[in-house]
Structures are given as structure tokens and as C-alpha cells.
Amino acid sequence: MEVPTLYEWAGGAEALERLTEAFYVKVKADPLLEPLFAAMPADHPHHVAMWLGEVFRGPEAYSAEFGGYTRMMRHHLNKHIRPEQRTRWVALLAETADEVGLPDDPEFRSAFVAYLEWGSRIALANSQPGATPPETAPMPHWGWGEAPPYQPGS
């Protein structure tokens, strides 16, 4: 039996679009998160769905269209994300995954939440004044229980 990617298991592009559309409706109504996303363009949920799709081993559309990890990392520079905003972002996205019907088996949710924790902590670090993330870095790819080792400054 061939093991599906997280992208396939989640339901592909359609499921991730459903997730991000519902999530960012909630973000706009959340007093803790709304200030971070007040200037969010209308296509932001679609871009995040593309990002998640590529991270979870789907099509490399985000990299092809927007430049991959380096471009995503730059979106967080000088945003001054606070730890409680990072925590709320992760919790709200996990809650939204339940509501839109993403798979709820422990293996998928463990990998899904592990990526949210990992990625949001990198965004938090890169959003602080004086952050100096690497100029280039490979696109992260997430699978069933894999986590890359911590790299300071990444």
C-alpha cells in the first residue's frame, strides 16, 4: 500500500481552500488576530492554501507563483507577532479544521498541528525587531511525523 501525502489525506486543494477561507473569516472577527491581518488582501486565504498544499507535499504552486519559503518568510518581517497571537492562530486554525471536516484521525492531526506549531514559531521569531532570517532556505515539506531539526535563525 502506498502511503498518501498529508495533502492527499487532507482532501487536496479543495479541502485546504475550504479551511483557509473559513479560518480567515474567523481571523477578521478575532480581536487578538484581526490587527495582524487588517490589511490582508482578498486572495490571502488562497495563497495560504497553496502554501499549505505545497508544504504537505501537494503541487509546488506556491513556489512557482510566489517564490517559496523566502517569500513567505519575508511576509512576517517586522510584524511584531506576540506569543499569545501565535498561540491563538494555531488554536483557531485547528478548531477550523474540525469545523470544515479535515480528517480527524490522530496521525493526521498530529502531523497537521506539529506543522502549525513549527511554522508559527518560525513566523514569531522572524517577526521580531532585528530578526535576521536566512536570505534563502528550502521549502519545508511535512509528512507523517517528520520534523526537521531546529536551526537557530531559520
CATH code, domain carrying 88 = 1.10.490.10
What residues have CB less than 8 Å from 94, skipping those under 6 apart? Answer: 109, 112, 113, 116
Question: Quick one: cell of 58?
Answer: 501537494
Looking at the domain assignment, is residue 133 inside a domain?
no
Total number of domains constituting the chain: 1
Q: Is the pLDDT of residue 76 over 70?
A: yes
Looking at the domain assignment, is residue 146 inside a domain?
no
- Which pTM value belongs to this model? 0.89
Looking at the domain assignment, is residue 30 inside a domain?
yes
Helices (H), 30-135: 34-37, 44-55, 61-66, 68-75, 83-99, 106-126
From the CB of residue 108, how many other CB atoms can be counted at a distance below 10 Å? 18
Q: pLDDT band at residue 150, thresholds of 50, 70 and 90?
A: low
Residues 69, 140 contacting (CB under 8 angstroms): yes
